[in-house]
Amino acid sequence: MSDPTILVGAVAYDPKAVTIWEGIREHFAEQGVAMDFVLFSNYERQVESLLQGHIDIAWNTPLAHARVRRRTRNQSISLGMRDSDRDFRAKIVARRGAGVTSIQALPGRTLAVGSRDSTQARILPLQFLRQAGVDLSKVTLLPFDTDVGKHGDTGMSELEVLKALHDGRADAGAVGDLIWVTEQAAGRVDAAKVEVLWTTPPFDHCMFDAAPGAPKEKLDRFQKGLFSMKWENPKHRRVLELEGLKQWMPPREEGYASLHEALDLDEKK
C-alpha cells in the first residue's frame, strides 16, 4: 500500500521556509492529515521531481507553474494559491529628473530589471512593455541576475533595481508591486528621487501543482487542510504572515495567459 503521507515540495528561498513549512505541517497534523515537505534549492529541480513522481505536490512560482502546465499539456492539477497571488502587477518606476515621463520615452534609456527567471521584475514587465509598443531593442537593460533558480522569490533583484534607481545607475526600473508598496510603506523609498511611471496589467503568481493522475483522495485532503487555515487564528497567522498571505484561494488559470505568451515568444526565438 502506498504511503498516505502527502509529500509537498517547496523551494528554500530563505531560512524562514523551514519555519513556514513546519508550521503548515503542524497545522495539517492537528487536522489529522499526514503531510511532510521536501525543500529544494531551485524550482527547476522541484518541477522535475514533481513530474517524475518523487513528490505529490509542488509549491510553484508562476514560471514553474507555467512550465508544469506546458510539460503536461495542461493535464497537471492546480490546487490553490494565496490571495496575494491574484492580480499581481509589476511597476515601471522612474528616477525623478531622468526625464522619463512615459514608457514611450524608454528607448535610449537604461532600464534596471530583476533576475532572468523573475516573473514580476523581468519576464512580464518586458512582455507588457513590448505589447504596449515599446521597442525594447533600443532600451539598455541593466539586469540583476541574483538568486537565479529561485524565480525572484527572494526579492533581492528587485531591491537591487530600486537601489540602482536611487543612486542614478538607471533611469527606470521594473519591480513587482508587492516590493514597491512594502518598501514605500516601510519608508525605504525616497519619494523625492523615485516615483511610479506605469503599472502593468494584472497577472497571477504562485500555485500548488500536482502531476496528472495524482490520487484524488490525497489532493482533496491537502486542499481541505490548506483552506482551513485562518488569519484570525494566532498559530495560523504566524505562518500566513511569513508566507505573505491572509487567505488561501482556489486555483484559476486565466491569470497566467500573459506569462504563456511570453514563454511562447521565447520559444520562437
> Where on the chain is the footprint of another protein (CB under 8 A)?
83-84, 87, 89, 91, 177-178, 180-185, 187, 189, 191-192, 195-196, 198-199, 231-234, 237-238, 246-247
Supply 46's cell numbers. Answer: 522541484
CB of 98: closest distance to another protein in angstroms?
15
Q: Which is nearer to another protein, 50 or 172 (CB)?
A: 172
Minimum gap (Å) between residue 59 Cβ and another protein: 20
CB of 86 to another protein, least distance (A): 9
Report the distance separating Cα 237 and Cα 256, nearest Å. 28
Helix (H, G, I), strand (E, B) or coil at 55: coil
Measured from the CB of residue 246, what is the shortest distance to another protein in angstroms? Answer: 5
Q: Kindly report the backbone phi and psi dihedral angles of residue 261, in degrees, each rounded to the nearest multiple of 5, phi listed first.
A: -60, -45
Q: In the complex with another protein, which residue's Cβ is closer, 72 or 184?
A: 184
Choice between 9 and 62, CB closer to another protein:
62
- Is the Cβ of residue 145 or residue 177 nearer to another protein in the bound state? 177
Burial of 84: CB neighbours in 10 Å, binned 0-12, 13-18, 19+ = middle
Question: From CA 180, how far away is CA 191, in angstroms rounded?
Answer: 12
Strand bridging mode 172-176 / 110-113: parallel
CB of 199 to another protein, least distance (A): 5
Q: DSSP states of 140-181 as a string?
A: EEEE---STTSTTTT-HHHHHHHHHHHTTS-SEEEEEHHHHH
* Secondary structure (3-state) at 113: strand
Q: Which is nearer to another protein, 142 or 175 (CB)?
A: 175
Residues ≥6 apart with Cβ < 8 Å to 22: none
Count of Cβ atoms closer than 10 Å to residue 54 Cβ: 14
* Shortest reach from residue 41's CB to another protein, in Å: 28
Minimum separation from the CB atom of position 194 to another protein (A): 8
Is 207:68 a contact under the CB 8 Å cutoff?
no
Q: Which is nearer to another protein, 53 or 97 (CB)?
A: 97
Whole-number Å distance between alpha carbons of 240 and 35: 17
Choose between 1 and 192: whose C-beta lies nearer to another protein: 192
